[in-house]
Amino acid sequence: MDEKVGATVCYRHPNRPTRLSCTECNRPICIDCSIDASVGQKCPECAAPVGRARVIDARRTTGRRSGFTGAPVTRFLVLVTVAIYLLEFLSPEFSRFISGQAFRNTVTGAIFYEPGIFEHVNASLAQGEYWRMATHALLHASTMHILFNMYALYLFGPELERRVGSVPFAFFYVAAAAGGSAAAYLLGPITMIAVGASGAIFGLFGAWIYVSWRMRHTPAGQAQFRQLSVLLAINLALPLFIPNVAWEAHVGGLLFGAAMAAVWGAFAAGKPQAEQRRSAISAAFLAIAILAVMVL
């Protein structure tokens, strides 16, 4: 099988000029031969599963999908996160239970804070309350906070879920949130208390930046990589201008997301039982985050 690096025509259709190439073998492919993978596009040979099966490109049978179509986990995450935020407005008792409460000592005048059961609290993680590494992603400090995070989840979540599968995506989201929480625990002060899905959202950034980097030899990949890099740089710079932003969680989620996408590409893309492999990989990253908090 000859590899035609630098060719300008599809290796399967010599009469079709193209600037696309397979991210696995680098052979030039036209749009009809391109098959979406978790790390870019592949030729039919590299995308073919092992065994008696054939590849069916969903784009040719159902067309491009948008919104929450085919992304039930993303839809569920948005609905639950928004519902919890609204319930906190409607029920002060519920808000105190999951988000905590500040109160003033009537004798000394000092202000104390009693955390809820969902928040990221470094002191509580040190006591073994590891569920907080995921549940903090369901809470938000303000309307702008939740609007920004849920809009980002809407933009970047559904397409990733459609590409990798709903179960792997659910593990990915939780693992990215836990990775951000672990970074906040390891790099932040013991007094740190934080809420928000930003760690998980930056995990999505990390995954898509890795995918676009793998596609950087194509015009579409180059454009996507530049756009995401600019957007990422702006978001990473926000803590310089906005106080009380847990940048540690942003960096941790970003690194976990990029790392999970890279391992997916190496050990799951194009392999048999790819969804199960992705789920296992993300579950392993979740375990790594928890172990980091337990041990370090």
3 alpha-carbon distance from chain centroid: 34
Express each pLDDT in 107-142 by its tens digit: 676 777 889 999 999 999 999 999 999 999 999 999
Q: Where are the beta strands (DSSP E) in 45-150?
A: 101-104, 111-114, 120-121
Q: What integer pLDDT is reported at residue 28 of this predicted model? A: 84
Give the residues across from 121 on adjacent strands.
193
142 a catalytic residue? no
124 a catalytic residue? no
DSSP secondary-structure letter at 206? H
pTM score:
0.78
Give the residues across from 21 on adjacent strands.
28
Beta-strand pair 111-114/35-37 = unpaired
Q: What integer pLDDT is reported at residue 23 of this predicted model? A: 79
Q: What integer pLDDT is reported at residue 50 of this predicted model? A: 54
Q: Are 265 and 39 in contact (CB under 8 A)?
A: yes
Q: What integer pLDDT is reported at residue 39 of this predicted model? A: 62
Q: What integer pLDDT is reported at residue 159 of this predicted model? A: 95
- Rounded CA gap, 140 and 80, in Å? 12
Which of 140, 212, 250, 282 is catalytic? The answer is 250
- Residue ranges and CATH numbers for the domains of the chain are 1-64 (3.30.40), 72-295 (1.20.1540.10)
Which of 198, 212, 279, 282 is catalytic? The answer is 198
Express each pLDDT in 180-219 by its tens digit: 999 999 999 999 999 999 999 999 999 999 999 998 888 8
Q: Are 128 and 41 in contact (CB under 8 A)?
A: no
Q: Which residues of the chain have pLDDT under 70?
A: 1-8, 38-40, 49-66, 105-107, 109
> How many residues are listed for the chain in this entry?
296
Q: What integer pLDDT is reported at residue 49 of this predicted model? A: 63
Q: What integer pLDDT is reported at residue 177 of this predicted model? A: 98
Work out the number of other CB atoms within 10 angstroms of the CB of residue 242: 8
